[in-house]
Structure 1
Amino acid sequence: MSVVASVFVGLAALLHVSIFWMESIAWTRPEVWRRFSVADQQSADVTRPMAYNQGFYNLFLALGAGLGLVLWWTGHETAGKTLVLFATGSMLAAATVLVTSGRRYLRAALTQGTLPLLGLLTFLAA
């Protein structure tokens, strides 16, 4: 079960690193801002500081999940599990907040929250 849980958490972390890249590095590229339903380049430019900040939140959650896995697999089970559960719980909470922003965000919330949910549940069972 630990391997399955680690795969889900690792995939959740990788997803959040990719979200970081889109929001903090590539935000002003049309193929990126369109993915986030931003209307035009001017709107992307205006929202860039917000997206930059939000992207780093995603990176920090990914780093927390990754560090938790490293701790877990190197014999620091309590610290590792705690960090993994905090990071995946925070990812799941963020997805929940996103879906409360409106029905049009349901797909994004499911994308953002499914892997953390599976990681959290399987880690609780590990």
Structure 2
Amino acid sequence: MVATLAFIFAGLAALLHVYIFYMESIAWRRPAIWKRFGVESQDAADITRPMAYNQGFYNLFLAIGAGLGILLFSFGSPDGEIAGRTLVLFSLGSMVAAALVLMTSGLKYLRAALIQGTLPLIGFVLTLFA
């Protein structure tokens, strides 16, 4: 039961990070997207586009790591379970660490950091006990 809950939260965290990838790497040129990230003008969005593009792929890679870890844990041998748990913990831990770093950027980023970090934190803790 704990493993199921852990991987539900890990999966939700992965899906959230795929969505962040979409916003940063694919949809960044849309004003509704870059405004969500606190960018104030089209010129600033154009300047920050390469950085957002790169950052989006970081989010995608973390999501892939969590997803692959869930698959290895769920369908693998005992060695696959160990590798899967390790990969899930690393991916979710990185998501939580990134959220903590975002918090250091100022109070205006607190909400975004909580959105980015809550699901992986819950998944991380549950995975420890799965």
TM-score by length of 1: 0.99
Please identify runs of 4+ aligned residues in structure 1 that moved more than 2 A. Answer: none
TM-score by length of 2: 0.96
Give 1:65 shift: 0.2
1:99 maps to which residue? 103
RMSD between aligned residues: 0.5
2:85 maps to which residue? 81
State percent identity of aligned pairs.
67
Alignment of 1:25-104 (within 5 A): 25-75=26-76, 76-104=80-108
* Partners of 1:62 and 1:22 in 2: CA distance: 14
Cα deviation digits, residues 16-70 of structure 1 (max 9, x gap)? 0000000000001011001101001111001000000000000000000000000
What is the aligned residue count?
126
List alignment gaps of at least 5 residues for structure 1: none
SS of corresponding position for 2:94: helix
List alignment gaps of at least 5 residues for structure 2: none
* Partners of 2:19 and 2:41 in 1: CA distance: 22
2:10 maps to which residue? 9
Question: Is 1:119 matched with 2:119?
Answer: no
* Partners of 1:50 and 1:56 in 2: CA distance: 10
